[in-house]
Chains A and B, each alone.
Chain A
Amino acid sequence: MPRFLVTRLVGLAMTLVVSSFLIFWSLYLAPGDPIATLSGGGTLPPEAIQALSRQYHLDDPFFTRYAAWLGDVVRGDLGESFVFNAEVADLIATRVGTTVLLVAMASVLIVGVGVTLGVVAGIRGGLLDKGLLLTTVIGQAVPSFVAAIVLIWLFAVQLRWFPAIGSGEGFAGRLQHLTLPAIALALAYLAYVARITRAATRDEMAREHVETARARGFSPSQIARRHVLRNAMIPIATVSALTVAGLLATTVVVERAFNLGGLGSLLVEAVVRKDFAVVQAVSLILVTAFVVVNNLVDLVYVVLDPRVELGAAR
C-alpha cells in the first residue's frame, strides 16, 4: 500500500504543479504587457500599477514570480481583482457554496438514480431493459445547456413548478432554485452511469458463480446483493467518480444557463471582462478539484477490489 500510495501522490503533485505553472504562464502569453492584461485593458492610476507589480512580483525573474505567486495561492492570497474591485478570495468565497451544492445535488442524482436504474434494468432485463437502453443512448447525447432550456420551458414557463433563474434565499430556497440546474447538469452523466451499471450488472449475471447460486436455491434478492452487485460495484464506482469529476467543468455552462452566482459563472464573466486574476484563480481551483477527484478513483478501486495487486500494475 505505501509504495502505491507514494507513486500516486507524487504523480498527482507533479500534475498539479505543472498545471499551476501553465495557468500562471498563460498570463505571459497574452499580447501586450501583463499590467494591461491584469487591468482588463483599462487605464489605471500609478498606485494601482505599483500595487499590481508588487502583487505579481513583476520586477522579479520569471521563476521567482511563479514561486511567489504559488506561495501566495497556497496561503489563500489570490490577489485583487481590478475589474470587480474586490479581493479574488472574497469573490470566490461568496460563490463557491452555490457551485458545491449544485455539484453535490447532481452527484446524488447521478449515483442514486443512475446506478438504481442500471441495476434494475440489468437484473430484470426484458422490455424495461430495452427501453432504458434506448433512453440512455439519447440521454447521454443531451448537452447540459439543451437540457437547461427544455427544463426551463417545461417546468418554469409551462408548469411554473420551479423558478427559471437565480440562486434563491435560505437553504430550502436554494434547494428549490438548484433543482432544475442539478437535473440539467446530471442528465447526460446519469444516462452514462446507468448504461455502464447495466452492462456491468448483466455481465455479472451471466457468470457461472451466479448460475451456481441460483441452482443452490438462493433468493433473487440475495443473489443480486451478494453475488452480482459486489462484483459489479467496481466498474460502477470507477465510472461514477470519473463522472463527478467531469461535472466541475460543466457547471460553467449550467450556472450561466440558469443565471446562478457560482464559480462557473464567475469564470465566464471574468473571461468576458478580461479579468485575468480571477480567471487564473478559478481555473486553478477547478483543475485541482478535477485532478484530485480523478485520482481518488484509483484509491476507491483498490479499496473495493482486494484482488488488485498494489503497485504491480505499474
Chain B
Amino acid sequence: MSPSLRSRLHRRLGPLGVAALAVIATLGLMAVLAPLLPVADPTDVDLSDTFAPPSAGHPFGTDSNGRDILARLVWGSRTALLGPLTVTVVATAVGVVLAVVASWRGGWSDGVISRMFDVVFAFPGILLALVVAAVVGAGFVAAVAALSVAYIPYIGRVTRGAALQQVRQPYVAALSVQGQSATAICARHVVPNVGILIVAQATVTFGYALVDLAALSYLGLGVEQATPDWGAIVAAGQSDILSGYPQQSLYAGVLIVVAVAACCIVGERISDREQYWGRLR
C-alpha cells in the first residue's frame, strides 16, 4: 500500500476504521483464496475422529462428523460473504437509480417511488425471505433475492434525501442550461456528490445482510445443510453444545460478530467524517 493512500485512509477512517477495514480485507482474501489455503477438505467426514481436540492436522479440532472445523470456517466464509455482497450490490444499484429518478423528477414519480419504499420497508428482511421461501421453496438464491429487495429502501431513502439537496443546487441548473441531459448530470455529478453517503450506507447494509443471511442459514432456510456456511455451522453445533462441545458454534459466531462489527465501524466512520467535512465546507 502506498504511503499516501495509507495516510488518506487514516485521515478518513481513523485508526479503528483502518483496523476494521483490514479485518474486512483479510476475511475477503480468505474467502477468495480458500482453495489455495493449506486447509483440509471441509466435507471430509471421518466418523472415527469426532470432536477431536486441536492438533497439527486439525488446528481447531473436528466436529460431530469428524470434519475439520478450520476448513469449514474458511470455506464457510465464501457463502457467508458472497451472499451479503450480492444483496448489497443489487440493493444499492436499484435503490440509487430509483432514488435519483425520484429526486430528479419529483411530483408523482417521487410519490410513487417513495410509497414503494414505504411498502417494502414494511417487510423486515427476514420476514420477506420467509414468505419468498414459502412461495418458491427455501434456498440460498431465494434468500439472497428476497433480501436484495428488502434492503432497497434502506439505500433508497438515504440517497433520495441527499440527492434532493443536490438537484436544488445552482450547479445543476447551470449544467442543465448548458444543454447537458438529465442522465448525464445525474450520473456525472449528482451521484458522485452523494457517493460517500451511498458507500457508507452500503457498508452498513452489508453487515446487516450478513446477519440476516446467516440467520436464515441458521434456521435451515438458506444454504443446504452440507454446504459450509457460518450461520449453518452455528446451527449444526447447537446440539453439540448440550453435550459439551461448543467449539464450532462459538468460532463461527465470533467470525460473524467480527465481520459485522468491522462493517458497522467502517460504514459509520465514513459517514461521520463526511458530516464533519461537510460542516467545514
Taken together as a complex, chains A and B put the C-alpha atoms of A271 and B250 apart, in Å, by 27
Taking CB atoms and an 8 Å cut-off, the chain A residues in 150-177 that contact chain B are 150, 152-153, 157, 164
B148 vs chain A, min Cβ distance (A): 16
Contact present for B249 and A249 (CB under 8 Å): no
Contact present for B122 and A19 (CB under 8 Å): yes
**Chain A contacts for B235, CB-based, 8 A:** 145
Taken together as a complex, chains A and B put the C-alpha atoms of A129 and B130 apart, in Å, by 39
Query: Is there a chain A Cβ closer than 8 Å to B215's Cβ?
Result: yes
Closest to A164 in B: B242
Taken together as a complex, chains A and B put the C-alpha atoms of A108 and B134 apart, in Å, by 33
Taken together as a complex, chains A and B put the C-alpha atoms of A246 and B249 apart, in Å, by 25
Supposing A14-B115, A19-B119, A287-B123 touch, asked if A145 and B131 sit within 8 A by C-beta, the answer is no
Q: Which listed residue, A142, A157, A257, A286, touches B244 by the CB 8 Å rule? A: A157
Query: Is there a chain B Cβ closer than 8 Å to A74's Cβ?
Result: no
A83 vs chain B, min Cβ distance (A): 12
Taken together as a complex, chains A and B put the C-alpha atoms of A290 and B244 apart, in Å, by 38
**Chain B contacts for A246, CB-based, 8 A:** 124
Taken together as a complex, chains A and B put the C-alpha atoms of A157 and B237 apart, in Å, by 14
Contact present for A146 and B241 (CB under 8 Å): no
Q: Which listed residue, B131, B237, B261, touches A279 by the CB 8 Å rule? A: B131
Q: Which listed residue, A31, A137, A157, A283, touches B131 by the CB 8 Å rule? A: A283
**Chain A contacts for B258, CB-based, 8 A:** 141
Contact present for A252 and B256 (CB under 8 Å): no
B132 vs chain A, min Cβ distance (A): 8
**Chain A contacts for B118, CB-based, 8 A:** 11, 15
Taking CB atoms and an 8 Å cut-off, the chain A residues in 254-288 that contact chain B are 256-257, 267-268, 270-272, 274, 276, 279, 283, 286-287
Residues 226-266 of chain A, each 1 if its beta carbon lies under 8 Å from chain B, else 0: 00000000000000000000101110110011000000000
Contact present for B127 and A287 (CB under 8 Å): yes
Q: Which listed residue, A15, A150, A252, touches B127 by the CB 8 Å rule? A: A252
Contact present for A149 and B122 (CB under 8 Å): no
Query: Is there a chain A Cβ closer than 8 Å to B138's Cβ?
Result: yes
Contact present for B249 and A149 (CB under 8 Å): yes
Taken together as a complex, chains A and B put the C-alpha atoms of A22 and B127 apart, in Å, by 13
Supposing A157-B241, A268-B219, A279-B134 touch, asked if A138 and B124 sit within 8 A by C-beta, the answer is no
Nearest 9 A/B pairs, CB to CB? A249-B124, A141-B261, A146-B253, A141-B260, A279-B134, A143-B211, A153-B246, A30-B135, A271-B134
17 new A-B contacts at CB < 8 Å, known A271-B133, A272-B221, A287-B122:
A11-B118, A14-B115, A15-B118, A19-B119, A19-B123, A146-B234, A149-B241, A150-B250, A152-B242, A153-B246, A252-B127, A252-B130, A253-B126, A257-B218, A267-B130, A268-B219, A271-B130
Residues of chain A whose beta carbon lies under 8 Å from any beta carbon of chain B: 11, 14-16, 18-19, 22-23, 26-27, 29-31, 137-138, 140-146, 149-150, 152-153, 157, 164, 246, 248-250, 252-253, 256-257, 267-268, 270-272, 274, 276, 279, 283, 286-287, 290-291, 294
